[in-house]
Amino acid sequence: MTRIDDTFVRLKAEGKKAFVAYLMAGDPDVARSLAVMKGLPAAGVDVIELGLPFTDPMADGPTIQLAGQRALDGHMTLGKTLQMVRDFRAGDATTPIVLMGYYNPIYSRGVDRFLAEACEAGIDGLIIVDLPPEEDEELCIPAQKAGLNFIRLATPTTDDKRLPKVLQNTSGFVYYVSITGITGAAAAQATDVGPEVARIKRSTDLPVIVGFGISTPEAARDVARVADGSVVGSAIVKEIASGKPVSEILAFVATLAAGAHSA
């Protein structure tokens, strides 16, 4: 049982849906990024997705691309991202952290070294968007053996023939991408998402969390009603980019969390 597993067991017992928040590590700098991250649990965030900056983020829209570029311009690295997690863990031993990003930085560091450091730092799961199930031996299976959840993305184009392969070695939760395309590109519609979530849940006992295209408390609520929770990324990243005080950013996050939890 990881922190992710424990969190979903608790939420189910409480009759609540999950709220997952994404932020880019080191955007616009480590101090501000860490200050936001430390405030997320008190704002109602159940799981933190921490973006790993990368030069070629193919699944991300302009908002998250720019966040990654700001972080890279500030000399953010995988090593500094892991240190951010350690600094967070110094004050929070329970909130799950999922590292979300691309395989290249991990490959460059070396899988064995990365997994040892990730576990030591306090990461609970990985979402690596450019590693398909056909490459599970590369990172997914070693990560699971190391005690990390490996969370897979399902999309509107994941048909019934493909779905079993996607679910094969997935753990923690399934991340359903509500729209075709990149992050922040369109609004998620609960009426479209509901049948797809139900279809996935017929094939797995894992929670199904929905992300992409959710930017308001109402959308977080509506999507959480038809899933096990909702994810907000681009809308939070925009707040960070605006230069607003951390307290205002966290107040915005709290409204999103309240929306999801009211489902």
The Cβ of residue 93 has, within 10 Å, a number of other Cβ atoms equal to 9
User: Which range, of 56-70, 102-116, 198-212, averages the lowest pLDDT?
Assistant: 56-70
Provide the residue range defining the domain that includes 86: 3-261
- Amino acid letter for position 213: G
- Place 191 in a pLDDT band, splitting at 50, 70 and 90: confident
CATH number of the domain where residue 209 is located:
3.20.20.70
Position with higher pLDDT, 122 vs 183: 122
Catalytic residue among 49, 117, 136, 239: 49
pLDDT, tens only, 30-42: 999 999 999 999 9
- Overall domain count for the chain: 1
Helix (H, G, I), strand (E, B) or coil at 114: helix
pLDDT of 216 higher than 80: yes
CB neighbours of 73 closer than 8 A, spacing ≥ 6? none
Dist CA 4 CA 14 (whole Å): 15
Catalytic residue among 5, 27, 60, 124: 60
The two tokens of residue 78 are 């995988």
- Is-catalytic flag, 60? yes
Q: Which residues of 146-167 are buried (b: 16+ CB within 10 A; e: fewer)?
A: eebbbbbbbbeebeeeebeebb
pLDDT of 182 higher than 60: no
| Dihedral angle computed from the Cα positions of residues 170, 171, 172 and 174, in that order, rounded to the nearest 10 degrees | 20
Residue 128 Cα distances to 59, 60, 143, 189, 227, angstroms: 11, 13, 11, 25, 22
- Is-catalytic flag, 137? no
Distance, first Cα to last Cα, the chain: 26
Give the pLDDT of residue 8. 98
Cis peptide before 62 (omega within 30 of 0): no
The listed range with the strongest mean pLDDT (94-98, 178-182, 192-196) is: 94-98
- Place 185 in a pLDDT band, splitting at 50, 70 and 90: low
Dist CA 102 CA 100 (whole Å): 7
| Dihedral angle computed from the Cα positions of residues 44, 50, 51 and 52, in that order, rounded to the nearest 10 degrees | 170
pLDDT of 60 higher than 90: no
Give the pLDDT of residue 181. 60
